[in-house]
């Protein structure tokens, strides 16, 4: 019996060797590391999956997000170790054979090396994550303090939750180390036959690794999808090329003007080469996307039909469309999407019939039968998981109109010279981040929407007397307004129907500056204000229909807000005022209710009256009391509206004409005097 056991144990090493080498071959083709990013605008998450030699998953999306905070991109060129994974597997194969068949310290070192290999890989990944998180470009569009993502475990960055885990490839390496260790401890001395068997397995693995290395080092080849090109516009029939293109094809459109309407009924990529123009001729929708997975890039799309036809430059009726780097002008609606999922609208320029700079009448609406000559730049209806990034929208009715849209990210766009920059109704999970919003009738108009975050936007110069709101919050549930610049508007933030006692309602770290009214709170508005900077507003807080803002809080986590008119002091140097700030008086209410008296707001008499009311409590109670005010702003204030520039200097010819006229008049007067003397 003992002899049989000893004989069986002698076969453990030759059996363990090919099994371990097979596991290494699987590890060579399996993910090394993976990370999932989730946020309200990405509820299904973004995945980054790292293999030996390549990175897959939502790489473009994640690199796009990282670009705005100044983080370098993920890729082979930034992490050169990825191309050496096949060499690491080859080294592991050598360690397997040495750990199984070598005795003494060399065999022990080989087994220790197998256990150490996955730890070294994780340590190297952590090193790169530290470099990526701390080496941020200081000139990036968005400011972010350096951070350290974890190679294994959860990390929180803003509203993104990151979960990083080792991939199956590293787990297989641990199994290999365990198998080699157990086989060595339980087996007897190796035989010549077992060594030959192990050598054959190592040779087979070497062939697999050689193929992997050649594949990793080979230059990128053309995509497997078909590519359709044309040599000259005169010989190119766009409609026929679309009809002939197979699913998955790239259709390259040469420069020229092509007549619409056009419908894409198969998943293809329509890519312009040169100035390729799709002209709708003023009738209907110019380009309709009716198949999932379509890409439209680099085209100029013009002259759709009008309101009666509900026409647009591009109509998206299927999931997964990518609308990138196009120019849409003289269209009723720029991009219209209905019932879609996973839409990407990135890098487009959209303008209406009047072109950039046309401000649409405030009477324009989305109600049936409303008369208007122009529609919205982007209209998303019943959509989910849409990205709107880096577009320039002007001269339309509303820049973005979101109706029943869910999980929408509006990121780093420029939206200007419109009625409403963004108009959202009856949607959920909306993130508005890093946009420049200026010179519209209103900025962000958010109504009947749940789960809204507006962060790091610049919202300025909305000066319409009727609707000049930087941000309007009406019947919004769960809202955060964080780190925005809201300046030179008629009303910085107007809120009604927002209840902080039921859901999140935070207004934090905003620069609310040089507005006529900084914050306007109706009786149904209850928000939390903290660490905001109220600078140079005619009236900081207005409470129409109520004596004071009863439901709102003006401190959070031990800090209030900065008020440029704060008359208190800070004796202990903790940057917090030692006496409360009282905001609001009868005089300020009078100025707010009578716009013609606003000119008195900066007078000495008004200042004396307002201070006297604060000290002696004359008239009604103050609107708000900030009990822990800041004595210095936490954000850099935006400059007030610059005065109109002086008239440009006259040309030399114009000046010479005036000088000549003056000299002629003097000569005439001199001559008249001489005549009088003579007579």
Task: Give start and end residues of each alpha helix (H) in 11-157.
Answer: 12-28, 59-68, 85-101, 104-134
Q: How far is CA 619 from the centre of its chain?
A: 47
Secondary structure percentages of the chain, helix, strand, coil, to 5 = 30, 30, 40
Q: Which of 328, 382, 379, 315 is nearest to 355 (CA)?
A: 328
Q: What is the tens place of the pLDDT at every residue in 74-114?
A: 777 777 777 788 788 888 888 888 887 777 888 888 888 88
- Report the pLDDT value the prediction gives residue 427, as an integer from 0 to 100: 94
- Report the pLDDT value the prediction gives residue 227, as an integer from 0 to 100: 46
In percent, the amount of the chain with pLDDT more than 70 equals: 72
pTM exceeds 0.85 for this model: no
- Report the pLDDT value the prediction gives residue 652, as an integer from 0 to 100: 42
Q: What is the tens place of the pLDDT at every residue in 137-195?
A: 776 656 677 888 888 989 888 767 888 999 888 888 888 888 888 887 776 555 555 55
Least confident of 65-74, 115-124, 156-165, 613-622: 613-622
- Report the pLDDT value the prediction gives residue 635, as an integer from 0 to 100: 63
Give me the phi and psi of 298, to 5 degrees please.
Answer: 80, 10
Q: What is the tens place of the pLDDT at every residue in 256-266?
A: 999 989 999 99
The single residue listed with the structure tokens 């209030």 is 560
Chain-wide mean pLDDT for the chain?
A: 78
Bigger pLDDT: 8 vs 34:
34
Task: Answer whether residue 617 shows pLDDT above 80.
Answer: no
Average pLDDT over residues 316-338: 94
Reported as type and span, the H/E element at residue 624 is strand 624-626
Task: Answer whether residue 372 shows pLDDT above 90.
Answer: no
Distances (CA, A) of 221 to 224, 226, 235, 382: 9, 13, 28, 39
Reported as a pLDDT band with limits 50, 70 and 90, residue 224 is very low
Task: Answer whether residue 583 shows pLDDT above 60.
Answer: yes
Reported as a pLDDT band with limits 50, 70 and 90, residue 543 is confident
Q: How far is CA 287 from the centre of its chain?
A: 27
- Report the pLDDT value the prediction gives residue 502, as an integer from 0 to 100: 78
Please give the structure tokens belonging to residue 666.
Answer: 């003097």
Average pLDDT over residues 389-414: 94
Give me the phi and psi of 604, to 5 degrees please.
Answer: -65, -40
Task: Answer whether residue 601 shows pLDDT above 60.
Answer: no
Q: How far is CA 34 from the centre of its chain?
A: 22
- Report the pLDDT value the prediction gives residue 92, as an integer from 0 to 100: 86
Specify the 3-state DSSP secondary structure of 470.
strand
- Report the pLDDT value the prediction gives residue 23, as an integer from 0 to 100: 85
Question: What one-character DSSP code corresponds to residue 234?
Answer: G
Rg, the chain, Cα only: 34
Say how far apart CA 357 and CA 364 lie, in whole Å. Answer: 17
Cis peptide bond prior to 261, omega within 30° of 0: yes
**Any bridge partners for residue 583, and if so which?**
624
The single residue listed with the structure tokens 């690794």 is 209
Spatial neighbors of 319 by CB under 8 A, at least 6 apart, are 292, 293, 340, 341, 342, 343
Task: Answer whether residue 622 shows pLDDT above 60.
Answer: no
Reported as type and span, the H/E element at residue 174 is helix 168-186
């Amino acid at each position: 019996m003992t002899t049989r056991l000893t004989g069986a144990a002698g076969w453990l090493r030759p059996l363990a060797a090919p099994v371990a080498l097979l596991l290494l071959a699987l590890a060579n083709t399996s993910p090394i590391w993976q990370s999932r990013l989730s946020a309200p605008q990405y509820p299904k998450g973004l995945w980054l999956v790292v293999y030996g030699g390549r990175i897959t998953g939502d790489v473009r999306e994640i690199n796009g997000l990282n670009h705005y905070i100044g983080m370098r991109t993920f890729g082979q060129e930034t992490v050169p170790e990825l191309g050496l994974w096949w060499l690491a597997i080859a080294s592991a194969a050598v360690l397997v054979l040495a750990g199984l068949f070598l005795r003494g310290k060399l065999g022990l070192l080989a087994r220790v090396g197998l256990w150490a290999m996955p730890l070294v890989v994780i340590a190297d990944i952590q090193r790169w994550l530290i470099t990526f998180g701390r080496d941020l470009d200081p000139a990036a569009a968005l400011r972010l303090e350096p951070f350290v993502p974890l190679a294994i475990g959860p990390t929180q960055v803003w509203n993104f939750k990151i979960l990083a885990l080792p991939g199956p490839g590293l787990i297989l390496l641990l199994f290999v180390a365990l198998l080699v260790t157990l086989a060595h401890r339980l087996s007897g001395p190796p035989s010549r036959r077992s060594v030959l068997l192990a050598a054959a397995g190592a040779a087979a693995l070497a062939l697999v690794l050689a193929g992997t290395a050649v594949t990793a080092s080979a230059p990128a080849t053309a995509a497997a999808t078909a590519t359709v090109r044309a040599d000259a516009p005169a010989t190119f029939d766009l409609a026929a090329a679309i009809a002939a293109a197979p699913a998955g094809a790239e259709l390259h459109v040469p420069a020229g003007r092509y007549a619409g309407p056009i419908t894409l009924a198969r998943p293809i990529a329509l890519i312009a080469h040169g100035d390729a123009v799709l002209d709708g001729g003023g009738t209907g929708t110019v380009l309709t996307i009716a198949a999932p997975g379509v890409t439209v890039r680099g085209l100029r799309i013009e002259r759709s039909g009008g309101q009666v036809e509900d026409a647009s430059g591009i109509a998206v009726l299927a999931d997964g469309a990518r609308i990138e780097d196009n120019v849409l002008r003289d269209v009723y609606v720029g991009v219209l999407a209905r019932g879609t999922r996973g839409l990407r609208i990135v890098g487009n320029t959209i303008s209406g019939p009047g072109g950039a700079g046309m401000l649409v009448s405030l009477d324009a609406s989305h109600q049936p039968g409303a008369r208007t000559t122009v529609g919205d730049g982007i209209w998303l209806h019943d959509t989910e998981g849409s990205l709107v990034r880096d577009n320039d929208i002007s001269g339309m009715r509303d820049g973005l109109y979101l109706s029943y849209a869910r999980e929408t990210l509006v990121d780093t766009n420029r939206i200007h010279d419109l009625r409403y920059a963004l108009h959202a109704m009856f949607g959920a999970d909306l993130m508005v981040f890093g946009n420049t919003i200026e010179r519209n009738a209103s900025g962000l108009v958010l109504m009947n929407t749940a789960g809204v975050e507006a962060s790091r936007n610049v919202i300025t110069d909305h000066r319409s007397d009727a609707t000049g709101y930087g941000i309007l919050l009406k019947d919004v549930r769960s809202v955060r307004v964080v780190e925005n610049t809201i300046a030179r508007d008629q009303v910085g933030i107007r809120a009604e129907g927002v209840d902080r006692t039921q859901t999140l309602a935070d207004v934090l770290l905003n620069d609310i500056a040089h507005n006529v009214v900084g914050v306007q709170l109706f009786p149904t508005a209850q928000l939390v204000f903290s660490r905001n900077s109220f600078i140079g507003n005619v009236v900081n807080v207005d409470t129409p229909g109520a004596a004071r803002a009863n439901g709102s809080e003006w401190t959070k986590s031990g800090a209030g807000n900065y008020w440029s008119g704060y008359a208190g002091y800070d004796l202990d140097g903790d940057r917090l005022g030692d006496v409360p700030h009282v905001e609001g008086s009868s005089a300020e209410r009078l100025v707010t209710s009578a716009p013609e008296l606003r000119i008195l707001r900066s007078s000495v008499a008004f200042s004396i009256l307002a201070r006297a009311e604060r000290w002696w409590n004359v008239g009604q109670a103050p609107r708000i009391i900030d009990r822990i005010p800041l004595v210095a702003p936490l954000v850099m204030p935006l400059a007030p509206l610059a005065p109109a520039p002086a008239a440009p200097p006259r040309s030399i010819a114009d000046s010479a004409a005036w000088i000549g006229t003056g000299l002629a008049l003097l000569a005439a007067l001199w001559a008249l005097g001489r005549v009088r003397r003579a007579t």
